[in-house]
């Protein structure tokens, strides 16, 4: 069963700013979201749980430099993206 991506208004604003700054990543970003919906545990996403002040949040990779942090609700089959950007920006 595929997962549902649930976008908040705050996240949507962040994505618009991110893609304006990095238009070359638009296709990679779209591919990452499509793969998240199908299988968030796909090896190329490098899904992992975060710790410390970001405990309860997960991260996936768009590429080696950019990440998406997200809340993964396995029970409801929902994925709620929280932030997108470079490693230092999202952590």
pLDDT tens, 10-67?
Answer: 999 999 999 999 999 999 999 999 999 999 999 999 999 999 998 999 999 999 999 9
* 66: containing domain: 4-84
CATH number of the domain to which 75 belongs: 3.30.2310.20
Q: How far apart are CA 67 and CA 29, in angstroms?
A: 9
15 within some domain: yes
Q: How many CB atoms lie within 10 A of CB 32?
A: 22
Q: What is the pLDDT of residues 73-86, one digit of tens each?
A: 877 888 999 999 98
Q: Is residue 70 part of a domain?
A: yes
Predicted TM-score of the model (pTM): 0.89
Selected residue with higher pLDDT from 73 and 71:
71
Cα Rg, the chain, nearest whole Å:
12
| Dihedral of alpha carbons 64, 67, 73, 78, sign | negative
Q: Residues 71, 57: contact at Cβ < 8 Å?
A: yes
Across the beta sheet with 4-5, the strand order is: 4-5, 78-86, 66-73, 58-61, 48-49
């Amino acid at each position: 069963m595929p997962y549902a991506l649930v976008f908040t208004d705050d996240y949507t604003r962040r994505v618009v700013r991110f893609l304006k700054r990095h238009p070359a990543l638009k296709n990679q970003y779209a591919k990452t979201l499509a793969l998240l919906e199908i299988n968030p545990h796909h090896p190329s996403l490098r899904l992992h749980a975060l710790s410390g002040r970001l405990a309860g949040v997960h991260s996936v990779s768009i590429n080696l430099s950019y990440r998406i942090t997200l809340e993964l609700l396995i029970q409801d089959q929902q994925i709620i993206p929280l932030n997108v950007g470079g490693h230092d920006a999202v952590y």
